Amino acid sequence: MDPDTCLYYLTLTESKKIAISVISKLLGEFGSAKALMELPRSKYENLGFDNTQIELLCGNCSNNCRQQSTKEALEWAGNDGNYLVCYESQHYPCLLREIDCAPPILFVRGSLDALDGRHLAVVGSRRATTTGKKNAYWMAQELSKVGLQICSGLAAGIDSKAHEGALDCGKNTIAVVGTGIDRVYPSGHKKLEQRIVDNGAIVSEFPIGTPPYSSNFPRRNRIISGLASGTLVVEANLKSGSLITARLAMEQNRDVFAMPGPVASAQSRGCHQLIKQGAKLAEKPTDIVEELGVVNQSTLSRNDDYRAAKLEIKSNPLHNLRALKAIDHQGCVFQAIQSECELSIQDLNAELIQLEAAGLIRQQGGRYFRED
């Protein structure tokens, strides 16, 4: 958008005198920052604003730090591939505009076209299990293929695997970050961030230079869920930030999906709690596609591919090993597996090594867990 329009929004948002939720409601009523800031003073008084807030809304407050921040934002937006997307912009995501606390302005790196389309949020634990990461990658990839665009938070674990799943099949993805748009967090995700910029977009509501304050991440979660028609939680413990995203999605009247997992796994408890609270159980991509009513000719072929893939996995000769048949998803100790299989220690160890190398089982805490 033009610098003058952006200036109105930056002036509003870079002061801490008026809450974003209040600005969002005012924008919903008056349509633009310019219209809001040109209201007569009496209107502000009737709305209950104090003198300091009124001076800000009238554009009469001057602050060197705020002016510098605004200047940096406008200079940043002058570079190729950098955009300031205001509430009134045609590129502002329609679903995001509907939420109670819509961000007045977004900093965007990458493609504005990536903000269009139908989004699905995929979120979960930073300390994800191997199975959780595989599921996030698989679900994101298959759902991308049928036309849903994956959005997540660029965090370690489930988020990064969801982004990678979309990118690896040639589709766009959006990362909503809890820092200034000029920062990469976590720092080890610089290559992933660049891939997203090249094939999608990085989005932030925070001013240039904002560090990764812990309070920023729950706040950015409303944008992740707000962009999307639905939110899928792949893995989450009971204190996971992903449950905040799921709660926000419910409050925004969006669909919430949760993948079940082993009963004994702490990383599955958050998902199980969501299912108890009414989230839709998602075991495979078609559960989400059918619920959201995604109409895409490739859906049927993907279902066939999924069934074929399952048959191929089941035809793997390793599935005939007695050790695998004795292991369940809740975990088994070595002695219990040996008792069930009636194999020697040497033969059982050989089978377990083969199964672990093939990714069919994992060992954790002295127990063996089935992964398929």
CATH of the domain at 203: 3.40.50.450
* Mean pLDDT (whole number) for 212-227: 95
The residue out of 267, 293, 309 marking a domain boundary is: 309
107 plus 239 within the same structural domain: no
Q: 327: domain CATH number?
A: 1.10.10.10
Encoding tokens for residue 213? 């304050």
Specify whether 158 is located in the same domain as 188. yes
| Tokens describing residue 275 | 């299912």
pTM score:
0.78
Co-location of 101 and 162 in the same domain? no
pLDDT digits (tens, 9 = 90+) for 331-344: 788 888 888 888 88
Same domain assignment for residues 106 and 178:
no
What ranges in 212-317 are assigned the alpha helix state H? 216-227, 241-251, 266-276, 285-292, 298-314
- Alpha-carbon distance of 5 to 89, in angstroms, equals 10
Q: Which positions ≥6 away from 242 have C-beta within 8 Å? A: 123, 124, 125, 158, 233, 235, 236, 270
Domain count, the chain: 3
Residue 370, pLDDT > 80, answer yes
- List own/partner pairs for 2-5 with CB under 8 A and 24 or more apart: 3/74, 3/77, 5/32, 5/33, 5/34, 5/86, 5/88
Residues 74 and 215 in one domain: no
Instruction: Say whether both 243 and 340 belong to one domain.
Output: no
365 and 276 within one domain: no
Higher-pLDDT residue of 370, 173: 173
In terms of domains, do 106 and 138 share one?
Answer: no
Tell me how far apart the alpha carbons of residues 329 and 327 are, in angstroms, rounded to a whole number.
7
Same domain, 184 and 282: yes
Query: How large is the greatest C-alpha to C-alpha distance in the chain, in angstroms?
Result: 87
pLDDT tens-digit profile of 277-316? 999 999 999 999 999 988 653 443 444 444 444 434 344 5
Tell which residue, 319, 157, 88, 122, has the closest CA to residue 227: 122
Are 178 and 284 within one domain? yes
- Note down the domain range covering 271: 117-309
Domain termination site, one of 64, 91, 112: 112
Domain endpoint, select from 290, 309, 328: 309
pLDDT confidence band for 318 (50 / 70 / 90) = low
Handedness of CA 155, 156, 157, 161 (dihedral sign): positive
If you average pLDDT over every residue of the chain, what do you get? 87
- Same domain, yes or no, for 256 and 331? no
Co-location of 36 and 83 in the same domain: yes
